[in-house]
Amino acid sequence: MKVTASAPGKLMLYGEHAVVYGSPCIVTAVDQRVRVTVEPNGEGEIHVCSPNVGLDEYHKKISKLGKDDLPKSMAFVEMLVKRVYEKFGLKTGIRISTESDFSTQFGFGSSAAVVAALAKALDLYFDLKMTQKDIFQIAYQAVLDVQGVGSGFDVAASVYGGTIYYVTPGDIIESVWEGNLPMVVGYTGVKADTPTLIRQVAELKRNEGWVESVFADIINLVNKAKTLFEKKDFVQLGKLMNKNQKLLATLNVSSVELDKMIKGAKDAKAYGAKLSGAGGGDCMIALTDKKYSKEVMEGIVSAGGIWMNVKTGAEGVRLEK
Ligand code: PMV
């Protein structure tokens, strides 16, 4: 028996940082996937092969899951296996292999995608009959076990796919758009350090009263964006991206590279542009009239960015033949 499942990466559209404190956000799944295969392993232990993160062979006794040495690249896989094995009283050894369409450097949420795909593969392999919600919850729990912080928006995108309105810890998950968006994506070439940026914003929030009003503005714009998707009003959705970017800049999470690329996109007639995710690096996104896509792309590249050829609204976690 051999089971393969895959899950998409994600891009945050509106509402990052504030979402950590219970505000809504809008996130889209991208057509770049992580695939996880589960198969038998006679040795009564977990055997992981993840060449995409530079780890060819990793062994762990089932009784030692989550204990002893836990290499960073294996932490998400191991904690997900631990959670599922404990919940369902499993003891059998398995071999897990992972592969990815995208680099862990881009900020597409490889950790969330790997736990989502692994949960789905384990579900079929052991016939656990988990619902989509069960898969989301156990995958989000594994992410929290490792990171300690995070809203779970990335796990929601990997599990449910599409473009969704999300409120942590997953009580509200609603589709706002079907299919691809008229969006151009640029990568800064710089890896963002999400947990550090979350802590920086938390500190700012503790010390500065005005941060609450920035979060209130973010809640308003995310809710407005939700209604603008219904109206298919990408001009106004672009303006909201600009507004969201200004608010994120006041939280000190933008960067010189992001600012330059955002300006490049806007100068090339994008409706609007912003950073996507924690900030400090990773990717920026720009909404544009399709007829200016090429110019927006060029604007981003001349500003020092790397154009990413991705489509949005991708399918959530699924089994692969
Ligand atoms: O850095 P990313 O792409 O994982 O995005 C982080 C978004 C935050 O809102 C800052 C954190 C979170 O978990 O929601």
- Please tell me the predicted confidence (pLDDT) of residue 75: 94
Please determine, for residue 314, whether its predicted confidence score (pLDDT) is greater than 90.
yes
The answer to whether the beta carbons of residues 136 and 155 sit under 8 Å apart is: yes
The Å distance, Cα 8 to ligand 1 centre, comes to 16
pLDDT tier, 188 (very low <50, low <70, confident <90, very high otherwise): very high
Instruction: Tell whether ligand 1 has an atom less than 6 A from the beta carbon of residue 277.
Output: yes
Please determine, for residue 43, whether its predicted confidence score (pLDDT) is greater than 80.
no
Instruction: State the pTM of this model.
Output: 0.97
Instruction: Tell whether ligand 1 has an atom less than 6 A from the beta carbon of residue 198.
Output: yes
Cα–Cα distance measured from residue 318 to residue 321, given in angstroms and rounded to the nearest whole number: 10
Residues 195-208, mean pLDDT to the nearest whole number: 96
The closest alpha carbon to 275, from 82, 16, 7, belongs to 16
275-312 tens-digit pLDDT: 999 999 999 999 999 999 999 999 999 999 999 999 99
Residues 109-122, mean pLDDT to the nearest whole number: 97
Active-site residue flag, 154 = yes
CATH class given for the domain over 3-179+314-320 = alpha beta
134-164 tens-digit pLDDT: 999 999 999 999 999 999 999 999 999 999 9
Instruction: Tell whether ligand 1 has an atom less than 6 A from the beta carbon of residue 192.
Output: yes
pLDDT tier, 70 (very low <50, low <70, confident <90, very high otherwise): confident
Residue 166 pairs in a beta bridge with 25, 173
| Mean pLDDT for all residues in the chain | 96
Closest ligand 1 atom, residue 108 Cα: 3
DSSP H helical ranges for 208-255: 210-230, 234-250
Tokens of 283: 């990717």
Question: Candidates 1.10.3720.10, 3.40.50.10490, 3.30.310.50, 3.30.70.890; correct CATH number of 183-308?
Answer: 3.30.70.890
Q: Which helix (H) or strand (E) holds 284?
A: strand 283-287
Which residue ranges make up each domain of the chain? 3-179+314-320, 183-308
- Please tell me the predicted confidence (pLDDT) of residue 321: 86
Pocket residue to mutate for ligand 1, from 153, 190, 205, 244, most atoms within 8 A of Cβ: 153
Closest ligand 1 atom, residue 197 Cα: 10
Instruction: Tell whether ligand 1 has an atom less than 6 A from the beta carbon of residue 19.
Output: yes
239-274 tens-digit pLDDT: 999 999 999 999 999 999 999 999 999 999 999 999
pLDDT tier, 55 (very low <50, low <70, confident <90, very high otherwise): confident
Closest ligand 1 atom, residue 192 Cα: 1
One-character DSSP codes across 48-63: EEEGGGTEEEEEEEGG
Instruction: Tell whether ligand 1 has an atom less than 6 A from the beta carbon of residue 107.
Output: yes
Cα–Cα distance measured from residue 87 to residue 106, given in angstroms and rounded to the nearest whole number: 32
